[in-house]
């Protein structure tokens, strides 16, 4: 029996993030399988379709909230808003354009103001549509004890940073190549990797939802210098981060302090 469609206005923010990310994921799977497009045309069509859907769902069901999206002009009114949805409609366009790869994702996160001290991420969902999985702050995963003998570090499958290769050599870690930023963070949540260390440039939408989910799972999340990851800032760039099992955090941060990331 088909489950009834939920009333999005009745969903709490955690469930709404999941619902919106999964609806965008459904659209992306349809574009991928039915459009007949390939390469850049498929990437562009996926970006556009997922952006249109998420923007429409947020406007309809969360009309008082601001939006920061990779695929839309930055509306600076968000800087004075109490609630801002930070979205990446399609994270990992390269992987999306290479069926049947499943290492691409949809990111939906909510940032809320907390007063004079700024704000924080309060809800988030990362959907991996081709995997049929969605990870969220509403049902956080309890990360199990590490199953690997050697630490595993998630890295780009096309351009792993040299400093991460040096880190891996120092701590005897294995490099695990994979696609999008969200997928790399979720690999730590899923115990497919033990850390994701990045300093090659990202934006708030690349990691807001993944970080929200990773924090809910009890993982360490910070900038590479150990400082906090701050969202809904005027500057959308958020170029580096560490997401890892708590027991690896100090070892990784110490390496960066001694060696830098260049």
pLDDT score recorded for residue 262? 77
Mean pLDDT of the chain: 93
Task: Tell me the per-residue pLDDT of 32-43, one tens digit each, with 9 for 90 and over.
Answer: 999 999 999 999
Mean pLDDT along residues 183-203: 94
Q: What is the pLDDT of residues 195-236, one digit of tens each?
A: 999 998 899 999 999 999 999 999 999 999 999 999 999 999
Structural domain count, the chain: 2
Q: What is the pLDDT of residues 104-147, one digit of tens each?
A: 999 999 999 987 778 999 999 999 999 999 999 999 988 888 88
List pLDDT tens digits, range 248-259. Answer: 999 999 999 998
User: Do residues 64 and 85 lie in contact, with contact meaning Cβ atoms separated by under 8 Å?
Assistant: no
In a domain, 120, yes or no: yes
Shared domain check, 82 and 27: yes
List all residues 6 or more positions away from 95 whose beta carbon is below 8 Å from its beta carbon. 101, 102, 103, 104, 179, 180, 183
Counts of helices then strands in the chain (DSSP H, E): 7, 10
Residues 13-60 have pLDDT tens digits of 999 999 999 999 999 999 999 999 999 999 999 999 999 999 999 999
Greater pLDDT, 3 or 207: 207
Q: What global pTM score does this model have? A: 0.94
Q: DSSP for 90-122?
A: EE-HHHHTSTT----EEEEEEEEEEETTEEEEE
Residue 229, domain extent = 152-259
Token pair recorded at residue 119: 């704000």
Residue with tokens 């290769």: 165
**One domain for residues 161 and 60:** no
> Could you identify the residue written with the tokens 């003998």?
149
Question: Among candidates 243, 176, 233, which has minimal Cα distance to 207?
Answer: 243
Q: What is the CATH number of the domain that holds 170?
A: 3.40.190.80
pLDDT at 102 over 70: yes
Residue 160 CB partners (closer than 8 Å, separation 6+): 175, 177
Output the six-digit token pair for 237: 């760039």
Question: Which of 136, 170, 189 represents a domain boundary (last residue)?
Answer: 136
């Amino acid at each position: 029996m088909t489950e009834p469609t939920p009333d999005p206005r009745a969903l709490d923010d955690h469930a709404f993030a999941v619902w919106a990310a999964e609806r965008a994921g459904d659209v992306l799977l349809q574009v991928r399988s039915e459009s007949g497009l390939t390469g850049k045309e498929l990437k562009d069509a996926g970006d556009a379709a997922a952006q249109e859907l998420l923007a429409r769902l947020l406007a309809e069901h969360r009309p008082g909230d601001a939006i920061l999206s990779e695929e839309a002009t930055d509306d600076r009114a968000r800087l004075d808003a109490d609630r801002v949805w930070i979205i990446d409609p399609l994270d990992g366009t390269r992987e999306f354009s290479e069926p049947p790869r499943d290492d691409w994702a949809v990111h939906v996160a909510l940032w809320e103001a907390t007063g004079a001290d700024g704000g924080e991420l309060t809800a988030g969902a990362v959907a991996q549509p081709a995997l049929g999985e969605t990870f969220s702050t509403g049902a956080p995963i309890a990360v199990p004890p590490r199953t690997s003998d050697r630490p595993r570090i998630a890295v780009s499958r096309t351009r792993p940073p040299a400093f991460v290769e040096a880190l891996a050599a120092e701590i005897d870690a294995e490099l695990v190549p994979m696609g999008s930023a969200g997928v790399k963070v979720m690999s730590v949540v899923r115990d497919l990797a033990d850390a994701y260390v990045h300093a090659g440039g990202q934006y708030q939408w690349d990691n807001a939802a993944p970080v929200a989910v990773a924090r809910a799972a009890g993982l360490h999340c910070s900038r590479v210098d150990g400082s906090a990851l701050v969202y809904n800032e005027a500057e959308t760039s958020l170029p580096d981060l560490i997401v890892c099992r708590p027991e690896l955090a100090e070892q990784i941060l110490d390496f960066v302090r001694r060696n830098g990331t260049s």
